[in-house]
Amino acid sequence: MTLPKVAVLAMGGTIVSSGSTPAQMTGYSLQGVKLEDILAEVPQINDVARLQVQTVRNLASCSIMLEDWLALARAVEKAAQSDYVVGVVVTHGTD
């Protein structure tokens, strides 16, 4: 059986942020963590779907501007038009 293909579009935010220690709960920042790193911690996801991960932007929420929303909209539209993609997930964390 062929697993469904899901487009996962990353926009940054706290979901890919970290602090200087594992216990730091505030004041963290974007420090090079990628969505692929997070997904690698959940290998069982590969039993459910084939993921097509794309980083559209890697920004804090307060830094997102109109052109970033437009880039996301274009990426969602492109992924949704694919004959092979059955769903689109957008990731972005906020405090």
Query: What is the C-alpha separation between 8 and 14, in angstroms, rounded?
Result: 16
Q: Which of 2, 14, 55, 91 is catalytic?
A: 14
26 is catalytic: no
Distance from chain centroid for Cα 32:
13
Q: Write out the catalytic residue numbers.
A: 14
